[in-house]
Amino acid sequence: MNQKNTIREMLSEERPYEKCERFGAGSLTDIELLAVLLRTGTKGESALDLARKLFYPGEGTQGTQPQAKAHLQSWTKEELLKISGIGRVKAIQILCLCELSKRMSQLSAREDLDFSRPDTIAAYYMEDMRYYRQEHLKLLMLNTRSRLIGESEISRGTVNMSVISPRELFTEALQKNAVYIILLHNHPSGDPMPSREDILVTQRIREGGSLLGIELLDHIIIGDNCYVSLAEQKLLKEK
């Protein structure tokens, strides 16, 4: 067995625990931070090796190309359990870590949340939507004071905005007595630039809302830590 198979066997200055104690948690890499939380590795692999596999899946596998760093939040429980060295307990630990990270991010973003500012809306929903592998469309419903009175997931799994039913959307809004609505959806590719379909459907929903007395304030598309607001892009104006 390699002498560096466990963190305990590594030289003191190389151990994440000791490094954190001496220089602070900020000195640790993402891999080292995860290794500390995983605590132990498995036979033939250290906790650092295990953490590296989670961030760089497939690295070191014969015949594979080096992959870009993966988002830890993108792993599902089923996928985690297929990784050598990840059992039920470690899989649950990782999922809970990701959920805690998401909630802390949202808690921080909530303080600045202002439904008249697309940047604050995107920041609040970013950690909830940027890792989705399928498109999700959320409907935010506001009252006369522009305060959130409800939100609903209108669709999931489609990659074609043209199949969205304005009827279903406005049924939700009318039930909540909403005066204003905001649409949010993600692009799994990470690129938030609106497609032609995104723009056409948005305009159709805006027109339908004007007939019902419900104003569409914005349609925000979430990418990978970035966003596009159709209102900011002047794409909600009358034709």
Q: How far apart are CA 104 and CA 99, in angstroms?
A: 9
DSSP state of 45: B
Q: In a 10 Å sphere around its CB, with 0-12 CB exposed, 13-18 middle and 19+ buried, how is residue 150 labelled?
A: middle
pLDDT at 178: 96
pTM of the model: 0.71
Q: Does residue 150 surpass a pLDDT of 90?
A: yes
In the chain, what are the domain boundaries?
Answer: 7-104, 112-229
CATH topology of domain 112-229: Cytidine Deaminase; domain 2 (3.40.140)
Q: In which residue are the tokens 């596009």 written?
A: 228
Tokens of 211: 């007939």
| pLDDT of amino acid 57 | 80
| Cα gap 22→120, rounded to integer Å | 37
- Tens of pLDDT, residues 82-104: 888 888 988 998 899 888 888 88
Q: What pLDDT, in 10s, does the model give residues 200-225?
A: 889 999 999 999 999 999 999 999 99
Please, are residues 225 and 189 in contact by the beta-carbon 8 Å criterion?
no
